[in-house]
Amino acid sequence: MTSGRHVVVGTAGHIDHGKTSLVKALTGIDTDRLPEEKARGITIDLGFAFLEEPDGLTIEVVDVPGHERFVKNMLAGVGGIDLAMLVVAADEGVMPQTREHLAICSLLRIRTGLVVLTKTDLAEPDWLELVREDVAGLVRGTFLEGSPVLGVSARTGEGVPALRETLRRLAATVPARSTDQLARLPIDRVFTIKGFGTVVTGTLMAGGLGVDDRVEVFPKGLQAKIRGLQTHGRPVPRALAGQRTAVNFQGLERTALDRGDVVGLAGSLVPALVVDGTLELLADAPRPLKSRDRVRFHAGTSEIMARVLLLDRPQLEPGQSAHGRFRLEAPLVALPGDRFVVRSYSPIVTIGGGTLLDVAPPRVKRKALVAHLRRLEHGTPEEVVEEHVRQLGPSGVRVSAMLGRAPFGPDRIRTLLEALQAAGRVVAIDREWFVHRESHDRVRAQAMDALAAFHRANPLRPGMSREELRGRAGAVDERVFASVLAALDAGGEAKVERDKVRLGSHEVRLDPEQQRLVDRLERDFLTAEAAPPSPQEALARVGLDGDEEHELFQLLVESRKLVRVKESLFFHAQALGTIQDKLVTLLRDRKEIGPGDIKDLLGISRKYAIPLLEYFDTRRVTTRVGERRVLRGG
């Protein structure tokens, strides 16, 4: 059933050259289904048919309109095809949309195809020979050069079996699509079926979709569950890359969806309003393309108005290529590597196309941008992933965020990131989160500079506050900063102790006079026991001016010899230990005490007693019960 191969064949060619008749002769299916199509005898929108071969090969056919006014619809259909069938009426030969459709197929990098000369019943052999020469000239230098050219009459059936055989042969040469990539289905039709609800169709570009999958319709952000899936007219539990697929949603209104939207797994794709890519102007484009020109941008099944910015020149001549940025007037949902087609605003003709390189491009100067795009264009997959991580700087990137901006599936991205990590090019913050080595090093260097500057300005302070240091090192994310500090600590360049960081080489060195003052300050607090002086008083006693911010005072605080009990109330750590022991002994004896008891116990005033009691509450030594204290857990 779904085990066989699937190849999507698209028709191409001028109106009335017999494309729809050929599809019908081949598959038995009339793809002109709209009443208006029947009435006018022309194809307006895309038509779909399929052919099941006995060996499990399914040839799915997308029939496109040839009329120049409907090239937009043609573009929506041709994006998903593997194989182009360029149809030229033998009695008329090459016409404008023969050329335009061939150009579009070339721009979309369709690699395989054939030419069918239809209506052979209407052409004399001599004439047919001339048309063959005409066609040979047309395809020279394109992907169709050297491809089969078959004569067919849909009317008499002549040549149909040979065409079918050739399609089978070509189908075998089409490479299989990636199933590792994220599922993507650009919608080409939306309709309702009585009793089922909303159905969309499209060619599944990559990955797979299964019944009951939770999906999202991008860029609208509408989430829904897949109720049913069909491939060529039959229900299937799962659809795979390359298949024409109909998706029946649970809980989505038909009117909410449009051609051009993309179905993907919830949260997996990223809509873009600015994209960068290569841009080539067709050699037969009617005029040069100027920077800031307004164009029609076609990718997947969407058409979006856009302004093109040429990055390295004011205008692009026919036949030239360059890098371009597109400012889109509506969000695009696509991935790097996708091809796109550009048509001029007026007259509406195909003028060029290119490959998307970045769908979340950085805001950098033009020169840096061109260098960035070159790396994305010519790099190996590993280099492409590295370039994105580099570009994202110290905030780095998560595997999940990488999925929407690189043309690789989750497993591949993880493997590439792990290879980069092994090569020392990126640093893993955790299993999902990576920062480029250069950014990591930059934060590291900033932190080292900030530490050195801090020590220079505060030679007596043992270390810098971790939070302040993080601010000086670019205010990077806490976990990235932790990783940088861990690296510095491991290398011995810095030492991290609780919330303080210092250079590995830093030592507080006091001159003899400073040492004497510090010793005296400390002694004062030690002997004052439970009734210590205020910082100002203590400093004044040794002849210094200042409060607790004084660096000599801070030295005692940071080395934990003095402990802050409340605002500007400091106790010597040793004294505080003794007080705690006395308090605990008293509480064991009395079970509960009031503020008066501690005053008596220590011979101190309320000024010290209340803060001490509160301090021991917060240290979880005691618990407050009304105005009284009990031992915690006692």
Of 376-395, binders to ligand GDP (CB under 6 A) are none
Phi first, then psi, for residue 360 (nearest 5°) are: -140, 65
Whose tokens are 């004062």? That residue is 524
Token pair in block for residue 288:
């040069």
Token pair in block for residue 401:
């965020």
Report the residue from 2, 15, 421, 477 that binds ligand GDP according to the rule CB under 6 A.
15
The distance of closest approach from Cβ of residue 12 to ligand GDP in the complex, given in angstroms and rounded to an integer, is: 10
Token pair in block for residue 564:
């802050």
Rounded CA-CA distance 234/220 in Å is 28
The distance of closest approach from Cβ of residue 31 to Mg ion in the complex, given in angstroms and rounded to an integer, is: 7
Of 20-28, 204-212, 339-347, 546-554, the segment contacting Mg ion by CB under 5 A is 20-28
Binding-site size, ligand GDP (CB under 6 A): 17
The distance of closest approach from Cβ of residue 78 to ligand GDP in the complex, given in angstroms and rounded to an integer, is: 14
Q: Is 16 in the site for ligand GDP (CB under 6 A)?
A: yes
The distance of closest approach from Cβ of residue 298 to Mg ion in the complex, given in angstroms and rounded to an integer, is: 20
Pick what 154 binds: ligand GDP, Mg ion, none; C-beta below 5 to 8 Å, kind-dependent. Answer: ligand GDP
Q: What is the contact mask toward ligand GDP in residues 93 to 132, using x (rule: CB under 6 A)? A: -------------------------xx-xx----------
Of 65-94, binders to ligand GDP (CB under 6 A) are 66
Whose tokens are 């194989």? That residue is 83
> What DSSP state is assigned to residue 491?
T
Report the residue from 6, 7, 12, 17 that binds ligand GDP according to the rule CB under 6 A.
17
Whose tokens are 């491939």? That residue is 231
| 3-state secondary structure string across 390-429 | HHCHHHCEEHHHHHCCCCCCHHHHHHHHHHHHHCCCEEEE
CA angle 607/541/511 to nearest 5° reads 125
The distance of closest approach from Cβ of residue 161 to ligand GDP in the complex, given in angstroms and rounded to an integer, is: 15
Burial class of residue 626, CB neighbours in 10 A (0-12, 13-18, 19+): exposed
Whose tokens are 């030295």? That residue is 555
Alpha helix (H) ranges present in 294-362? Answer: none
Of 24-63, binders to Mg ion (CB under 5 A) are 43
The distance of closest approach from Cβ of residue 20 to ligand GDP in the complex, given in angstroms and rounded to an integer, is: 3
Alpha helix (H) ranges present in 535-630? Answer: 535-541, 551-558, 573-590, 595-602, 606-618
> What DSSP state is assigned to residue 178?
P
How far CA 68 is from CA of 62, 75, 186, 515, in Å, comes to 17, 11, 23, 92
CA-closest candidate to residue 70, choices 110, 39, 107, 104: 104
Pick what 6 binds: ligand GDP, Mg ion, none; C-beta below 5 to 8 Å, kind-dependent. Answer: none
CA-closest candidate to residue 583, choices 617, 606, 540, 554: 617
Rounded CA-CA distance 598/142 in Å is 97
Report the residue from 10, 21, 217, 473 that binds ligand GDP according to the rule CB under 6 A.
21
Residue with nearest beta carbon to Mg ion: 43
In 251-320, where do the E strands start and end? 262-265, 272-281, 289-290, 294-299, 302-310, 315-316
The distance of closest approach from Cβ of residue 121 to ligand GDP in the complex, given in angstroms and rounded to an integer, is: 5
Token pair in block for residue 126:
């001599």
Q: Give first-to-last CA distance, the chain, whole Å.
A: 74
Partners of residue 465 on adjacent β-strands: 500
Q: Output 362-370 pairs: Cβ under 8 A, ≥24 positions apart.
A: 362/391, 366/311, 366/312, 369/276, 369/311, 369/323, 369/325, 370/311, 370/312, 370/323
Q: Which is nearer to ligand GDP, 164 or 225 (CB)?
A: 164
Is 220 in contact with 256 (CB distance < 8 Å)? yes
Q: Which is nearer to Mg ion, 43 or 147 (CB)?
A: 43
Q: Which is nearer to ligand GDP, 153 or 622 (CB)?
A: 153
Pick what 242 binds: Mg ion, ligand GDP, none; C-beta below 5 to 8 Å, kind-dependent. Answer: none
Token pair in block for residue 533:
């002086």
Say which residues have a Cβ less than 8 Å from residue 93's Cβ, sequence separation at least 6: 130, 131, 134, 135
Q: Is 160 in the site for ligand GDP (CB under 6 A)?
A: no
The distance of closest approach from Cβ of residue 267 to Mg ion in the complex, given in angstroms and rounded to an integer, is: 39
Q: What is the contact mask toward ligand GDP in residues 586 to 605, using x (rule: CB under 6 A)? A: --------------------
| 3-state secondary structure string across 110-142 | CCEEEEEEECHHHCCHHHHHHHHHHHHHHHCCC
Pick what 302 binds: Mg ion, ligand GDP, none; C-beta below 5 to 8 Å, kind-dependent. Answer: none
> What DSSP state is assigned to residue 206?
B
Q: Is 203 in the site for Mg ion (CB under 5 A)?
A: no
Pick what 8 binds: ligand GDP, Mg ion, none; C-beta below 5 to 8 Å, kind-dependent. Answer: none
Pick what 118 binds: Mg ion, ligand GDP, none; C-beta below 5 to 8 Å, kind-dependent. Answer: ligand GDP
Pick what 203 binds: Mg ion, ligand GDP, none; C-beta below 5 to 8 Å, kind-dependent. Answer: none
Q: Which is nearer to Mg ion, 19 or 437 (CB)?
A: 19
Pick what 122 binds: Mg ion, ligand GDP, none; C-beta below 5 to 8 Å, kind-dependent. Answer: ligand GDP
Q: Which is nearer to ligand GDP, 115 or 484 (CB)?
A: 115
Of 262-281, binders to ligand GDP (CB under 6 A) are none
Of 17-25, 247-255, 504-512, 578-586, the segment contacting Mg ion by CB under 5 A is 17-25
Rounded CA-CA distance 81/165 in Å is 19
Q: Is 153 in the site for ligand GDP (CB under 6 A)?
A: yes
Q: What is the contact mask toward ligand GDP in residues 41 to 60, using x (rule: CB under 6 A)? A: -xx-----------------
Is 114 in contact with 142 (CB distance < 8 Å)? no
Of 10-18, 203-211, 517-525, 539-547, the segment contacting ligand GDP by CB under 6 A is 10-18
User: b vs e for 304-326, b when ≥16 Cβ sit within 10 Å of the residue's Cβ?
Assistant: bebebbbbeeeebebebebbbbb
Of 148-156, 179-187, 216-224, 412-420, the segment contacting ligand GDP by CB under 6 A is 148-156
Question: How many residues can be counted in the chain?
Answer: 634
Of 11-19, 429-437, 439-447, 569-577, the segment contacting ligand GDP by CB under 6 A is 11-19
Of 16-24, 242-250, 281-289, 297-305, the segment contacting Mg ion by CB under 5 A is 16-24
Report the residue from 7, 9, 20, 608 that binds ligand GDP according to the rule CB under 6 A.
20
Report the residue from 13, 14, 18, 20 that binds Mg ion according to the rule CB under 5 A.
20
Collapsed DSSP state (helix, strand, coil) of residue 258: coil
Of 12-20, 216-224, 267-275, 505-513, the segment contacting ligand GDP by CB under 6 A is 12-20
Q: Is 73 in the site for Mg ion (CB under 5 A)?
A: no
Binding site for ligand GDP (CB under 6 A): 15-21, 42-43, 66, 118-119, 121-122, 153-155
The footprint of Mg ion (CB under 5 A) covers 19-20, 43
